[in-house]
Structure 1
């Protein structure tokens, strides 16, 4: 994945998160949890994209 694709994906995720935070009425606690989950997911995805995390195919949930 090249750098332009990474930047475009990050901008799209940021805009979607901003739209959700501003225009969808939710409790503040739920918004904080949503923001933390999205940030953790993006950080893990970036680490995997740059090869610092390794393959995430071996991670099992449940």
Structure 2
């Protein structure tokens, strides 16, 4: 269902806390390149922020 919804949308926004970065799971809904924006907390490292910017993914870092 999530994959189908992403196929039909113009913009996909991922809301995730910093502890999820770098974690591998058994399922993938979409490649990171299909994400328009990521909203996360201040625990997100500069390395992840820089890597996401290189992939042209906008990242918004808010308070915990």
Q: Please, what TM-score do these two structures have when normalized by structure 2?
A: 0.29
Q: Which has the higher contact order (CA 8 A, sep 6+)?
A: 2
Which protein has the larger Cα radius of gyration, Structure 1 or Structure 2?
1
- The structure in which a higher percent of residues are strand is 2
Q: Please, what TM-score do these two structures have when normalized by structure 1?
A: 0.29
